[in-house]
């Protein structure tokens, strides 16, 4: 239930152009907060602008944009209630095949950018005894094949969140992690396009080793478009973490995410490996030609 005091509070949501970020901005505005919605382009600002949703141009890898956001928050009479670190990218390829600059870009956005924004806004959050909500992933608990860079960045974000929570608890600031499973968002389509582009640049040798795996990864990612949760459903969980007086330290979004994270805790590594391989196997391309005849 929205209270009159909530209309006097700010929430910053990064990566709010589309998907979970945009849905979270709308959900929090509907609950009475004034949302500063981080977007990278002017056209995205026009799309997200609404009552109590104020777009701000923000690339979390650019210090000047982060400084401008901190100045905007510091110049407002309203308290900053929460920072939702949602911006992210997904760059998927086998460890051997992914060029180092792509590894660095993945971590620059999914980890270092969040740290930079958090550092810039912590003075305001400490003043308000607010909270930091970091959007991780089930990939922050379980690393699927070809998700080494993405999962690595999310594993790291989980660790940083744990450390930050323990540092800030005595100071009255709460830190919460959200772990979505399959959610229908634009990041899935972008990830598929990135995988296909990288596959086109791989050497013949790497294609021989990993080509079919990447086709399976693309097929599995596309299945999220029909089987995944809606961004609006995920946004409600994020908004609950922002508004609950005593939020949990972690929220898993979606049945698949809850099941997979539980299995990761319970199963031995080899058993989990076999389970994940079985889940991916149905997305492999069907054998053709001589291979199909041989398997008949």
Average confidence (pLDDT) over 279-289: 81
Element (H, E) at 39: strand 34-39
| pLDDT attached to residue 113 | 98
Give 224-242 pLDDT, tens digit per residue. Answer: 666 668 899 999 999 999 9
In a domain, 60, yes or no: yes
Q: At 72, is the pLDDT very low, low, confident or very high (cuts 50, 70, 90)?
A: very high
Average confidence (pLDDT) over 134-160: 96
In a domain, 178, yes or no: yes
In a domain, 51, yes or no: yes
Give 35-71 pLDDT, tens digit per residue. Answer: 999 999 999 999 999 999 999 999 999 999 999 999 9
CA-to-CA distance for 33 and 139, rounded, in angstroms?
30
Q: Which residues are catalytic, by number? A: 150
| pLDDT attached to residue 221 | 80
Q: At 293, is the pLDDT very low, low, confident or very high (cuts 50, 70, 90)?
A: very low
Of 179, 35, 180, 58, the C-alpha closest to 113 is 58
Other Cβ atoms within 10 Å of 58 Cβ, number: 26
In a domain, 155, yes or no: yes
**Longest CA pairwise span in the chain (Å):** 72
Q: How many domains does the chain have?
A: 1
In a domain, 203, yes or no: no
In a domain, 194, yes or no: no
pLDDT higher at 282 or 168: 168
In a domain, 104, yes or no: yes
CA-to-CA distance for 23 and 234, rounded, in angstroms?
8
pLDDT higher at 293 or 286: 286
- With beta carbons less than 8 A apart as the criterion, state whether 60 and 38 touch: yes
Q: Looking at 201-210, 217-226, 252-261, which range is the least confident one?
A: 217-226
Average confidence (pLDDT) over 123-134: 98
In a domain, 167, yes or no: yes
Give 97-117 pLDDT, tens digit per residue. Answer: 999 999 999 999 999 999 999
Parallel, antiparallel, or unpaired: how do β-strands 34-39 and 183-184 relate? unpaired
Q: At 4, is the pLDDT very low, low, confident or very high (cuts 50, 70, 90)?
A: very low
DSSP assigned state of 34: E
**Full residue range of the structural domain in which residue 41 is found:** 4-184+229-266
Other Cβ atoms within 10 Å of 271 Cβ, number: 11
The average confidence (pLDDT) of the chain is: 90
Taking CA atoms, 36 is separated from 57, 103, 134, in Å, by 10, 29, 16
Coil, strand or helix: which one is 214?
helix
For residue 109, give the CATH number of its domain.
Answer: 3.40.50.720
Q: At 196, is the pLDDT very low, low, confident or very high (cuts 50, 70, 90)?
A: confident
């Amino acid at each position: 239930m929205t209270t009159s005091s909530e209309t006097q509070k700010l929430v910053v949501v990064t990566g709010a152009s589309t998907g979970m970020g945009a849905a979270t901005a709308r959900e929090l505005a509907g609950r009475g907060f004034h949302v500063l919605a981080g977007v990278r382009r002017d056209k995205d600002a026009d799309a997200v602008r609404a009552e109590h949703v104020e777009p701000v141009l923000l690339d979390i890898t650019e210090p000047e944009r982060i400084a401008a956001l901190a100045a905007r928050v510091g110049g407002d009479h309203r308290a900053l209630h929460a920072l939702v670190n949602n911006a992210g990218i997904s760059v998927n390829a086998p460890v051997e095949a992914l060029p180092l600059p792509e590894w660095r870009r993945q971590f620059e956005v999914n980890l270092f950018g969040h740290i930079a924004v958090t550092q810039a806004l912590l003075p305001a959050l400490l003043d308000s005894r607010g909270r930091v909500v970091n959007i991780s992933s089930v990939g922050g608990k379980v690393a699927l094949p070809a998700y080494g860079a993405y999962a690595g960045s999310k594993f790291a974000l989980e660790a940083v969140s744990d450390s930050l929570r323990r540092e800030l608890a005595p100071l009255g600031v709460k830190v919460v992690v959200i772990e979505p499973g399959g959610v229908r968002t634009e990041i899935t389509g972008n990830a598929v396009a990135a995988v296909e582009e990288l596959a086109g640049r791989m050497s013949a040798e790497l294609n021989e080793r990993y080509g079919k795996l990447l086709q399976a990864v693309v097929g599995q990612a596309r299945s999220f478009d029909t089987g995944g949760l809606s961004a609006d459903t995920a946004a409600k969980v994020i908004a609950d973490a922002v508004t609950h007086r005593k939020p949990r330290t972690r929220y898993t979004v979606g049945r698949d995410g809850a099941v997979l994270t539980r299995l990761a805790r319970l199963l031995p590594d080899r058993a989990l490996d076999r389970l994940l391989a079985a889940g991916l196997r149905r997305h492999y391309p069907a054998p053709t030609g001589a291979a199909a005849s041989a398997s008949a």
